[in-house]
Amino acid sequence: MRVLVVNAGSSSVKLRLLDEHDSLVRSEDLSAGTDGIDTARLADVLRAWPAPDVVGHRVVHGGTRFTGAVRVADEVRAGLEDLIDLAPLHQPKSLAALDAVTALLPDVAAVACFDTAFHSTIPEAAATYAVPREWRERYAIRRYGFHGLSHAHCARRAAEVAGLDAPRIVSCHLGAGASLAAIVDGRSVDTTMGFTPLEGLVMATRSGTVDPGLLLWLEEHEHLTPHEVATALEQRSGLLALAGTADMRDVEARAENGDPDALLAIDVSVHRLAGAIGAMAVAAGGLDLLAFTGGVGEHSALVRRRAAERLAFLGVAVDSRRNDAAQGDADISAVGAAVHTVVVTAREDLRIAHEARTLLDG
């Protein structure tokens, strides 16, 4: 079954056409700015490509209703629209891509695959916030978690690379957005992102976890509006706030030259990362396998090394030569380390294709 994977991001729409063996047949990234998707270019691309048997769409938020892949019909489309309030920065882009591709391929089945669905298995103790019951019930406030498609692929592939059967895994998706997942027997049991993709680790321009009292203090004493606070946390925080650049490659280059802000940014990021990995290991009941994926996870030997050093007490150790030379999927564990450490290339497209085929075949 040939699958067209449509992955709508903040600034682009990634199109990947996979054959029945998951070989990449065609690949194209289209611009998707504030004016929307380049529909003319999209039409040109799809006309030139072999016709798919199914289209798999990445959708960021499935809420509590969509806990697995679902074939898109009018009722489902309306349900996805209802979830915009829970992901106002991401959901509209997913829906715009869905509508644009469906208009061009109206007779091809469309399947929505959700970043939140993988985390629908986390227990209530991990999912529940200690806030008033009426808030939780009225607004469906809970830990949803994100990057689920990436974590699901990473966990499966990491176990293959390490040669382990259903281990206790902590998956680290580190990129412009970053989150961890604790995975046991292939199921997510905890994750660092929460009700929104702001919670958790230090990210490129997102703050990660901050004291909610700080936000209330800023609104009261600095007279900031909720919109101003949200904009600052989403777009002017993280690495950008600490080092003046949102690109970890630039941060590392500046740190090598002794830039104090860059050194602090790395220290803060690794401190949060290592602490969160420890917390995920607790949620998993131990740690057999540590996996890094995403742009930073795949390409920053420094971040992997520094994190491993902080986690030595758990049995994590990486081989410096393997770590520095890692390309693609790679085992970077030190000989004799109690915990395996691997690098996995982020391939959300493979997970989406798998979910789409499974749904239609089932």
The residues assigned a catalytic role are 115
- Reading the block at residue 338, the tokens are 């109690």
Cα distances from 318 to residues 94, 289, 330, 361, in angstroms, run 38, 12, 12, 41
What is the rounded CA–CA span in Å between residue 216 and residue 94? 32
Cα angle 15, 20, 25 (rounded to 5 degrees) comes to 40
What Rg value do the Cα atoms of the chain yield, rounded? 20
- For residues 341 and 331, give the distance between their C-alpha atoms in angstroms, rounded to a whole number: 6
Residues 6+ apart with CB under 8 A from 62: 83, 112, 114, 115, 116, 117, 120
User: CA–CA separation, 116 vs 150, rounded Å?
Assistant: 11
Contact present, 159 and 148 (Cβ < 8 Å): no
**Helical H runs in the chain?**
39-48, 74-82, 91-104, 124-127, 133-139, 148-162, 212-221, 226-235, 238-243, 248-256, 260-284, 294-299, 301-310, 320-325, 348-361
- Cα dihedral 248, 249, 253, 258 in deg (nearest 10): 10
CB 54 within 8 A of CB 18: no
End-to-end alpha carbon distance in the chain: 13
Q: What is the dihedral of CA 283, 285, 290, 291, to 10 degrees?
A: -50
The span from the CA of 77 to the CA of 217, in Å, is: 39
Instruction: Name the residue among 43, 68, 51, 200 with its Cα closest to residue 121.
Output: 68
340-343 vs 289-293, strand pairing mode? parallel
